[in-house]
């Protein structure tokens, strides 16, 4: 009987993927853990004051929208790949971290209109 090496390698990779804790997938290139308040947004170069949203990124890979318009509430899971945050809630999408200094971030929506949200860490 011949060994099917590829099948064994695939099985090992699959087992590793299953046993990896969910929190490992939430690690981002930047420390986004904590509560953030939106201060303004930019669309086509126009700055618009908008403090209608705040949310909390948690270490366990979930994000909770503390204050949001119901239609854009993205509470649920999230994961990261470099500077891209993958939102996995009711309204999935991707946010790209354009600027970060530990206390503020600029997040570009890659899927929902392309606006840029400027947020401030509040906790």
In a domain, 83, yes or no: yes
Domain tally, the chain: 1
Q: Model confidence over 61-93: pLDDT tens digits? A: 998 888 776 656 567 899 999 999 998 887 788
Q: Model confidence over 99-123: pLDDT tens digits? A: 999 999 999 999 877 789 999 999 7
**DSSP secondary structure code for residue 65 in this structure:** E
In a domain, 15, yes or no: no
H or E element: which one contains 107? strand 104-109
Residue 47 in tokens = 């700055």
In a domain, 44, yes or no: yes
In a domain, 28, yes or no: yes
Return the closest-CA partner of residue 25 out of 76, 81, 89: 81
């Amino acid at each position: 009987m011949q060994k099917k090496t590829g099948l064994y390698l695939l099985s090992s990779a699959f087992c590793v993927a299953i046993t990896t804790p969910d929190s490992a997938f939430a690690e981002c290139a930047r420390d986004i853990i904590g509560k953030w308040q939106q201060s303004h947004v930019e669309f086509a170069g126009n700055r618009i004051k908008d403090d209608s949203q705040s949310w909390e990124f948690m270490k366990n890979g979930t994000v909770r929208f503390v204050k949001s318009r119901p239609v854009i509430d993205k509470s649920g899971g999230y994961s990261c790949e470099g500077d891209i945050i993958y939102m996995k809630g009711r309204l999935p999408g991707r946010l790209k971290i354009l600027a970060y200094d530990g206390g503020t971030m600029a997040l570009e929506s890659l899927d929902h209109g392309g606006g840029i949200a400027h947020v401030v860490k509040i906790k």
